[in-house]
Amino acid sequence: MWQQKWIIGNWKMNGSQSANRQLLQALLKPVDVAAAHVYCGVAVPNVYLAGVNEFTRDTSLAVGAQDVSRFAANGAFTGEVSAQMLADVGAQFVLIGHSERRQYFHEDNQELLIKLQNSMAAGLLPVLCVGETLAEREQGQEQVVVSAQLDVLASLGMREVVVAYEPVWAIGTGKVPSVTQIAAMHQLIYQQILSLCGEDVKIRVLYGGSVNAGNAAEILAVPHVDGALVGGASLQADSFAAIIQAAY
């Protein structure tokens, strides 16, 4: 999986048991066909994790969560779901620090460090999401902002790092950075991971933000773009399948 392109769907707070089954049913064949070249996964709402895991058992589709508790494995934390619990119901990876969580739940590096530690301790592969807002890009601050977000990786001793670069202004807006802008940010992210984690770290840097069937091939061909994190288009089987196909 460290040589393959990654295509990860982020369902966000969408789905139902019947809609999930329908979507997955349509995806399993394209995922299977792509399996030698593409690592495919879906990050689903916690309540659907066990069901999706059951449905995709013995297939090539990985299942992940969209967030994890910063609290302990278990205890008096009403409403929380720990990393151990996510792993117990079949999650293999977890999104950490998605911009919607940074925005609505004020997650910062201090909190995200704990979430990364909890995920690693439970055997979940964290996918750290980073990206600048429109105002930050307009002020020319994108590299500073993303570098500061990546600093959370400094003390973790990770041997395998997956980062999703998602400019906030591109998420769900239909606006996509130019290939030159994407290349510059992915190059910066690679360099910083290498300097924070050491030269022998395994790296995947995904691009996220309005990826669709029409633009996936161009984006996935950009140097240092190892895959895509896909929101809206991951809810349509034909779109998501086309994005997977564009990855090989």
> Which residues define the annotated binding site for substrate?
10-12, 172, 210, 231-232
Residue 163 structure tokens: 């980062």
Only one residue has tokens 């449905």, namely 55
Q: How far is the CB of 141 from ligand PEP (least distance, A)?
A: 21
**Residue among 100, 166, 186, 224 flagged as catalytic:** 166
List the alpha helices (DSSP H) in 89-177.
99-105, 109-121, 134-138, 142-150
Smallest gap from Cβ 73 to ligand PEP, in A, equals 27
Which H helix or E strand runs over 46? helix 46-56
CB of 186 or CB of 197, closer to ligand PEP: 186
98 has catalytic annotation: yes
Question: Crossing angle for the helix pair 142-150 and 179-197, nearest 10 degrees?
Answer: 30
- Residue for token pair 């779901």: 81
**Closer to ligand PEP at the Cβ: 197 or 228?**
228
Whole-number minimum distance, CB 74 to ligand PEP, in Å? 29
Positions in the binding site for ligand PEP (CB under 6 A): 10, 166, 171-172, 208-211, 229-233
What distances in angstroms separate CA 201 from CA 87, 161, 172, one per listed residue? 24, 7, 31
Cβ proximity to ligand PEP: between 172 and 198 the closer is 172
Nearest to 93 by CA among 59, 70, 116: 116
Choose between 193 and 230: whose C-beta lies nearer to ligand PEP.
230
Residue nearest to ligand PEP (CB): 231
Query: Is 37 among the residues known to form the active site?
Result: no
Task: Tell me which residues are annotated as active site.
Answer: 98, 166
